[in-house]
Amino acid sequence: MQITIDMIKELREKTGCGIMDCRTALEKANGNMEAALEELREKGLKTAEKRADRVAAEGRMEVYVHSDGRLVVVVEVNCETDFVAKTASFQELAHELALQIAAANPTYISEADIPAEVIEAETKAITERSRAEGKPETIIPKIVEGYLKKFKDEHVLLNQKYIRDESRTVLDLVNDKVSSLGERIVIRRFIRWTLGETSQAPQAEED
């Protein structure tokens, strides 16, 4: 199948990856957009894994203020070099993350940030509720598993569906940038204020 400029453009808009990466993915997928997306996701994940031990101490603090002035988000996003931190692609990522936090109101950055006592409390609550509803003991573990997955997908930033494309997660978005920029990227911390209340900023685990 012939790979057209429009196909490459569409894939770039979906992923933020470079032209050659998009062309190669489409060629491998024989023009299938979904297969090309999966190819780029796998590449981004592999690149992220390879760079997981690299120090990410550069980056930017992105500030988003909602138009009515009642909501403010500050997110720190780190990369390895000042050069990448100054690129439009990295700055776009930081802005998209701020918008995501404003819209989806996550509590944690990654699953590793959820305190054990929170998981224990949620597990206990859903177990007791299931028993009170008369659910068979044999299926309660599956109910708990499904509930915890939903809880994490709603409250963990990296697990959340990306607000501009719900077929992808925020982790997919970050990994796409890791692949295209060639550096480790870390969401270090964020805070989300609404008028009249304050909250403590979630922070990523120390390297």
Cβ contact 56:78 at 8 Å: yes
| Averaged pLDDT for residues 158-178 | 93
Convert 92-119 to b/e letters by CB count within 10 Å (16 or more is b). ebbbbbbbbbbebbbebbbeebbeeeee
The one-letter amino acid code at 28 reads: K
**Global pTM?**
0.74
Query: pLDDT-based confidence at 51, cuts 50/70/90?
Result: low
Contacts with 195 (C-beta within 8 Å, 6 or more apart), sequence order: 69, 70, 71
Instruction: Give the list of residues 6+ apart from residue 147 with CB closer than 8 angstroms, or none.
Output: 122, 126
pLDDT bin (cut points 50, 70, 90) of residue 49 is: low
> What is the SS3 string spanning 143-165?
HHHHHHHHHHHHHEHHHCEECCE
CA–CA separation, 89 and 72 (whole Å) = 22
Give the pLDDT band of residue 198 (cuts 50, 70, 90): low
Sign of CA dihedral 50, 52, 57, 61: positive
- Report which of 110, 114, 111, 80 is spatially closest to residue 187, judged by C-alpha positions: 110
pLDDT computed for residue 33 by the predictor: 86
